[in-house]
Each structure stands twice: as C-alpha cells, then as structure tokens.
Amino acid sequence: MVLGIRPSRFQSFHNTPAFRAARVKESLESVYQAHYPHKPTKTGRGVKRSPLHQRLEEQGAAWRDVSGMECADWLVGPSTREEEEGEEGDAKRMHAPLSWGRHHWFETWQNEHLACRQSAGLIDMSFMSKFKVQVLLPQMRQEVGQNIV
C-alpha cells in the first residue's frame, strides 16, 4: 500500500500524455541540480485559472503553479509588467535569480503582507477547491420528475 501519495489529489490533466511527458522530462533534468526554494515549474502551466485570474493579471501578478492552477504569488504592478514583455521578462520578473536567501521580490511581498495586516486583503485560494458533484438518478427522478435522462 502506498501511503505517501493520494491518487484522489490528482486532476484529469495530470493523466494526459503531453503533461506527463513534459513534467517527467523537466523533473529528470533537475535531479542532480540544486533544488532552490521557489523554483518554478515550466511545464503544465496555465491548465487551470481562477475566476480572479484576469483581474490579477491586470494588476501585474507574478504567477506560480499550485496544484495545476496558476496562482498569483505577488504583484509587481502594471507599469513594471509592460516593461518586461514576453516569457523572458516573466522569468526575470518572477523568479530570477534563484537564491537561498531573500528573493528580489521579498520587499514587495512584505508590503502586501503588512497592508493585509493593517487593513484588509483578498487572497485567491481557488487552488484549494475540488468539487465532486454526484447525483443519484432514481432519487432525482423522484424529487424532480421523470424527465431526467
């Protein structure tokens, strides 16, 4: 029995050949490299997005992958985002350089944290939701009527 992994945590996109091929290749390429904290994954990105994604994008969100969902890690602001267009700009702005110490975004993150403590904040936790909707047809037919297929 495998206790460390719960298959129910995985989503359907995890089981696609394209995702598995890309993620396995990325994982194996980094086996003997330093595993820096906050190192982003490159594969399987943008599969799921929260209802707040567009609004956070407009605010200059720096993205990270959390359970297949693109999540805002911190906000750089729209003016900085326009200066750094494209994938290389995203990598530079969000995650480079990798370090064991404080990252270049620490002060921005700290200011966001303090603003939430001193006032209020909205934190998008959509990545934590997983719903299973299940209906028993005989019971539903009884409650709603026989027109259920």
- Report whether pLDDT(114) > 90: yes
Q: Which sequence spans correspond to the domains of the chain?
A: 8-122
Residue-wise pLDDT for 75-103, tens only, equals 887 655 445 555 544 544 555 677 888 88
pLDDT band at 113 (very low <50, low <70, confident <90, very high): very high
Of the listed ranges 84-98, 107-121, 125-139, the least confidently predicted one is 84-98
Give the pLDDT confidence score for residue 118 in this predicted structure. 95
Give the pLDDT confidence score for residue 54 in this predicted structure. 92
Of the listed ranges 10-14, 58-62, 63-67, the least confidently predicted one is 10-14
What does the chain look like in DSSP terms, one character per residue? ---S--GGG--GGGGSHHHHHHHHHHHHHTTTS---TTPPP-SSTTSEE-TTHHHHHHTTEEEEEETTEEEEEEE--HHHHHHS-HHHHHHHHHTPSP-SS--TTHHHHHHHHHHHHHS------GGG--------HHHHHHHH-TT--
